[in-house]
Structure 1
């Protein structure tokens, strides 16, 4: 049992930068590095890639991250926990072993399985968002349960240096090594709540070091081109001190911590995870040094009886087109263009949207600029279940070049397949996580 452990977060989403994790592993003196790379839509898209090629389905940046990290993990005796396995953690583990062999590195990989519950779906489960059977959404393509620390503990008890998972709740990736290394009782929900607070604070990586916080006018942050990612020293009592590697950009302050604490939180007194119902309302922050914030307080109640399950479904296709108007009467010409497209093809699509980027795209017409802008970009998008109709949106926008109004330019068009995501609850007794060891 240790008195404290140090955990770093090297990635906060699938497309995050690679070098902050390298810096953390090289200079952060970490016990554990966590790469948190999954979101609801991310894993549904990964399931689609796996359907097309059974050897795929893991994170697209897995190979690039592992190429740089594996030598550093071994050199610095740092264990890695990551959900980059996405829809295919076993294939991800095989790929990691392949990279290790090429680099002549001996490494053991633990694969956490059991989050994929697609075969258990009946179609009658009720979605949390719509209150209707999930089969009514159409063709279902994936179902992944949010596993918790119970799934990770056997992997931690092995001597695997890399632990790769599919869908695990974000804060659980951080909480599991706390419970394992600090000897916490998995039924001590007060401690689990405190640890979940810390996991939540770290899970988005650069957000707590100033990335999501920064505003050059009201909240300036220095060195953002070299934004450091965070690490935390966690102590036996569930408190922690969050910091970053010296010399990296960004900042760790009470203000950045407060913003991250409330990020994606609906009820701060009841933050549901597979491990605990955490209470964020009693968290306290203290600035204890430059880029050092102490976190204390928080707590939790007994874990819920059900797991959240993210269900992906085929939601059709989106066709879109964009074109720009500039100069005198740019707004009026762009709006005429939108009106033309609306009259010509709106009736062909299940959903249809016209945005005037720079005027109404983010907040709608009620907040649009009162003055006449010098330039406006029109965006048109339509969703349909008919793959053949999807390209028509972009084609119609492109046709505005010569069919008016005057002066349109910079047209582009695009079609993408849409993956929708809904949620259900599943009794935790129905899930049977397991691990496999490679190497």
Structure 2
């Protein structure tokens, strides 16, 4: 059993920066690096990409991240755990092997699958948010269960260098190496509760180092352009100390830790994960100075009998159009333009939304008069069942060039295919994880 391990978090969402993870690998003294890159809508959109091309469906930034990280990971003996597999962990693992062969390095990659349960749920199952059948929301696109730590544990025990998963609960990415390193039992819910606290504090990366915390003049954070991401030193009893690499931007203190501890927590006495129902109420945070916060306490009880499932559905097409009016009487002209579009589309879009945005994005503040915006941007948006109907909004906004008030410019028009998300539960007996190994 190890005396201590260090786990870094190099990404807190799919589009997170690439460089903080490299800093952690090269200068952080890590044992493990976690890249947490999945959200509910992220995986539903990944399933759509996979439908269009079976070789895709993994995180769009996977190749760029692995290109920069692979050799440093191996040189520094840091093992990677990430959910960048999204809707297609097998294809993601194969892509990593392709990169490894091109770089002429040896590596073992494990893909953890089993979270895709679209064929195992009933469209008549109840959505947790609405109480209605899942099918009532719209055509179902995806259904992914939040797996726990066991698949990652199995991959670690098979000595995989890089482990890539689909939908796994965020804290489970961090608990798995703790369980393996310290020999924790999967029924030791006291320690699993403590590990979940640490995983929850770490999972959003730059949020705990001041990124989402910052508020100028109220909560100032230094060096945000070079914000460092966190690591946590963990001891066998479940105690941890969170810190960041020296000479990186950001701050870690009691305020940043408390805000992250409460983030997305509805009931601190019962925080449900696939591994444990954690209790955050007894957590003790101690500021050790030097951007270090000690985390102790927390507990847990028996894991749930079900997995939560994130279900993606085809919601609607969102049509949008924007145009800017600047100069004298800009607000009145933009208001008239919005009224024109509303009149022309009111029968097709009963819930049309019209906003006036901005005051100084075209001309600087020297031309802005008090309480009288010198410029404003009109935005018109509405939902539609089809791409064609949604396109009408942008077309009408563009027509304002010559059919609306004078002085309009900078038109943008676009249509988004919007995916909605609801949740349901599935019995554990219906879900089985699988680990597939690849070597280069």
Shorter-chain TM range is over 0.9
- Aligned equivalents of 1:70 and 1:272: distance in 2? 33
Alpha-carbon distance between aligned partners in 1 of 2:283 and 2:357, rounded to the nearest angstrom: 40
Partner SS state of residue 120, structure 1: coil
Aligned partner of residue 346 in structure 2, secondary structure: helix
Query: Superposed, which structure 2 residues align to 1:23-38 within 5 Å?
Result: 23-38=23-38
Counterpart of 2:431? Answer: 431
**2-side partners of 1:403 and 1:427: how far apart?**
59
2:366 — aligned with what? none
| Contact in 2 for aligned 1:350/1:384 (Cα 8 Å) | no
Whether the 8 Å CA contact 2:30–2:78 is kept in 1: the answer is: yes
d(CA) in 2 for partners of 1:210, 1:313 = 34
**Which secondary structure does the structure 2 equivalent of 1:92 belong to?**
helix
Partner of 2:103: 103
Partner of 1:160: 160
Residue in structure 2 matched with residue 44 of structure 1 by the alignment: 44
Contact 2:338 2:380 in 1 (8 A): yes
Q: In the TM superposition, what is the alpha-carbon distance from 1:375 to its structure 2 partner?
A: 2.5
Given that 2:6 and 2:32 are in contact with CA atoms closer than 8 Å, whether structure 1 keeps it comes out as: yes
Q: How big is each residue's C-alpha offset from its partner over 1:260-296, in whole Å with a ceiling of 9 and x where there is no partner? A: 1111122222211111111222222111121111111
* Closer, same or farther: CA 331–281 of 1 in aligned 2, 3 Å: farther
What is the rounded CA distance, in whole Å, between the counterparts of 2:398 and 2:206 in structure 1?
39
Within 5 Å, give how 1:66-81 maps onto structure 2. Answer: 66-81=66-81
Cα gap change, 1:372 to 1:38, in 2 (>3 Å): same
Shift of 1:316: 2.5
**What's the offset of the Cα at 1:350?**
7.0
Q: How does 1:232-311 map to 2 (within 5 A)?
A: 232-311=232-311
Q: Give, in angstroms, the shift of residue 227 of structure 1.
A: 0.6
Residues 192-211 of structure 1: matches in 2 within 5 Å? 192-211=192-211
Number of aligned positions between the proteins: 429
For residues 93-138 of structure 1, the C-alpha deviation after alignment (integer angstroms, 9 at most, x for no partner) is 0000000000011000011010000111221111111111112223
Alignment of 1:32-431 (within 5 A): 32-349=32-349, 351-358=351-358, 371-431=371-431
Question: In structure 1, the residue corresponding to 2:419 is in which secondary structure?
Answer: strand
User: CA 1:33/1:391 → structure 2, altered by over 3 Å: closer, same or farther?
Assistant: same
Higher deviation after alignment, 226-235 or 147-156 = 147-156
Aligned to 1:365: none
- Contact persistence 2:121–2:426 (CA under 8 A): no
Alignment RMSD (CA, Å): 1.5
Distance in 1 (CA, whole Å) between partners of 2:74 and 2:150 is: 26
Aligned position for 1:6? 6
The superposition leaves residues 304-350 of structure 1 with CA deviations (integer Å, 9 ceiling, x where unpaired) of 11111011111221110111223333333322222222221133137
Structure 1's unaligned 5+ residue stretches are 360-369
Deviation (angstroms), 1:352: 2.9
Structure 1 residues 272 and 432: CA distance shift in structure 2, 3 A: same
In the alignment, the residues of structure 2 paired with residue 122 and residue 243 of structure 1 have an alpha-carbon distance, to the nearest angstrom, of: 45
CA distance in 2 between partners of 1:204 and 1:198 (Å) = 11
Q: Aligned in 2, Cα 1:284/1:375: closer, same or farther, shift over 3 Å? A: farther
Which runs of 5 or more residues in structure 2 are unaligned? Answer: 360-369
Aligned residues of 2:125 and 2:134 also touching (Cα < 8 A): yes
Q: Deviations over 1:38-97 (max 9, x none)?
A: 000000000000000000000000000001111011100110000000000000000000
SS at 1:388's partner residue?
Answer: helix
